[in-house]
Amino acid sequence: MVRLSKLTDYASVILAQMARQPDVLWSAGQLSEDSSVPKPTCIKLLKLLVKGGVLNSTQGARGGYSLARPPSQIPVKTIIEAIEGPTAITECGTDETLCRLTDHCSVMSRWRELGDQVDHILTKTTLEDLISPHTLYARSDRRIETLEVH
């Protein structure tokens, strides 16, 4: 149901480190060393995060990576999607037979609504929250309030 892939786990640790010193230009080697993530894997993650708009990169000698935005403006949803790709709660459309069932599509719209609620949480929570020493629940501005109908 809700599971972080190992790579997202790694990425969040790497990003947490970067977020604590947002002005440093980090090299892949440095990040790999500090985070214990094997260098090839670390490099792969950094590339994905650049592609996903989470990081900026500077090429060449003395180059490296830095956060593209302040931690408070990086939703965890963005991080997850950068690593795992865009993910809907159901693909729907793969199985034509099922989709013709009366039940199927109505049940699926409920699932999709559930997915929206989860999305809402993941969008509201940011990298800043991840590195905070305080529980999410303690922050009134981060509590999940009644959802609005759009």
Partner DNA sequence: TTGATATAGGACCTATTCAGTCCTATATAA
Partner DNA sequence: TTATATAGGACTGAATAGGTCCTATATCAA
Binding site for DNA (CB under 7 A): 5-7, 10, 26-29, 38, 40-41, 43-44, 46-47, 50-51, 57-65, 84
Contact 132, 102 (CB under 8 A): no
Q: Is 117 in the site for a second copy (CB under 8 A)?
A: yes
Reading the block at residue 106, the tokens are 């109505």
Residue 139 C-beta: closest distance to DNA, Å? 29
Q: Residue from 7, 13, 43, 50 that binds a second copy (CB under 8 A)?
A: 13
If the CB atoms of residues 43 and 119 are measured against a second copy, the closer one turns out to be 119
Contact 74, 67 (CB under 8 A): yes
Alpha carbons 9 and 4: distance in angstroms, whole number: 6
Distance of CA 33 to the CA centre of its chain: 22
Residue 118 C-beta: closest distance to a second copy, Å? 5
If the CB atoms of residues 17 and 132 are measured against DNA, the closer one turns out to be 17
Binding segment (CB under 8 A) for a second copy, from list 43-51, 55-63, 67-75, 124-132 = 124-132
Q: Beta-carbon neighbour count of residue 36 at 10 Å?
A: 9
Alpha carbons 79 and 122: distance in angstroms, whole number: 10
